[in-house]
Every structure is written in C-alpha cells, then in structure tokens.
C-alpha cells in the first residue's frame, strides 16, 4: 500500500459566482474562507508536531 492511498482524494471546491453576491455576502464569504484557512494552518501545526515526535523516536 502506498502512502498516497491513505490521503483523501482531492476535489476542487465549487467556484462561487461572486458577481451575484452583495458586499455584505462577500464579506461573510471572506470571513468563512479565513476561518477555513486558520483551521488548515492549525492542522499543519499539529501534524508537524506529530512528525517531529516521530522523528525523535525513530532517530534513536
């Protein structure tokens, strides 16, 4: 089994038609995207910490 088999398949997100959104809706959309970016960054931090821990264990 390849490690890539364990990764979820990448799907392109649905592209929103920004032209039909109001200024308020665009602001809300940006806030949602920023929250998702923060969530992804937090997950990266957790995974890096786990990797560092594993590296310490397996280097010995």
The pLDDT tens digits for 1-59 are 566 667 777 788 889 999 999 999 999 999 999 999 999 999 999 999 999 888 888 87
DSSP annotation of 13 reads: P
Q: Which domain holds residue 37?
A: 19-59
Residue 12: inside a domain, yes or no?
no
14 vs 50: CA distance, rounded Å: 32
| 35 in a structural domain | yes
List, for residues 9-25, the tens digit of each pLDDT value.
Answer: 778 888 999 999 999 99
Element (H, E) at 42: helix 23-59
Q: What is the pTM of this model?
A: 0.67
CA–CA separation, 27 and 33 (whole Å)? 10
Q: Among residues 34, 29, 5, 33, which one has the least CA distance to residue 17?
A: 29
Is residue 37 domain-resident? yes
In the chain, the number of structural domains is 1
């Amino acid at each position: 089994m390849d490690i890539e088999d364990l990764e979820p398949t990448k799907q392109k997100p649905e592209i929103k038609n920004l032209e039909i959104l109001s200024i308020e809706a665009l602001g809300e959309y940006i806030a949602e995207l920023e929250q998702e970016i923060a969530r992804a960054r937090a997950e990266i931090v957790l995974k890096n910490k786990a990797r560092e821990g594993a590296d310490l264990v397996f280097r010995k």
